[in-house]
Amino acid sequence: MRLTQWTDYTLRVLMYCAATEGREQPVTITEVAEGYGISRSHLMKIVQQLAAQGLLETTRGRGGGMRLMVPASAINIGAVVRATETDFNLVECFDPGTNQCRLSSHCRLKGVLWQAMQAYLAVLDGVTLQDLMAPAAAGGAAAQALLPTVALPQSGGAMHRSAPVAGLPSKAENIE
């Protein structure tokens, strides 16, 4: 199974917010968009959906942004994936309305794939957002490793790009 880009970005937003939990200023959509190099307008729709689901608290205007509304330990990754994915029909025969397979009545593949998908979702059901952030709770450095390299203002208004974060591609690696 492959997650859609929507689900991928949804998980990234939640992880980013969890990694910055406790920070004085809220996370902004622009911060996440620039950090991950993804569309700001796409993220706005995702954040709006997460707020409607009660997972994010959002504040508009100057000094606004978003924060987790629910503790990371209460956000189940399996539930998030189910809420964001639109199609769990791995093969045509999963959908009786469009099934044209002539082997359906004799085929065992459908049952095997169904079990595999259920196992996949069961693993995700056993994971919370906090579980993904567990190393961060021990000291904070691991949470920072989840954050992309982002521009941070220095005194005088100049922008400074911090050092690349381990595990995330640098600009040079993205070009190749």
Q: What local confidence, expressed as pLDDT, does residue 104 receive?
A: 65
> If you average pLDDT over every residue of the chain, what do you get?
77
**Does pLDDT of 160 surpass 90?**
no
pLDDT digits (tens, 9 = 90+) for 52-105: 999 999 999 888 899 999 999 999 999 999 999 888 776 666 667 777 777 767
Residue with tokens 């169904």, as numbered in its chain: 114
Contacts of 53 (CB under 8 A, 6+ apart): 83
Contact present, 67 and 21 (Cβ < 8 Å): yes
Q: State the Cα–Cα distance between residues 158 and 151, nearest whole angstrom.
A: 10
The two tokens of residue 72 are 């990371």
Q: State the Cα–Cα distance between residues 147 and 120, nearest whole angstrom.
A: 26
Compute CA distances 166 → 111, 123, 143, 145, 170, whole Å: 41, 26, 12, 6, 9
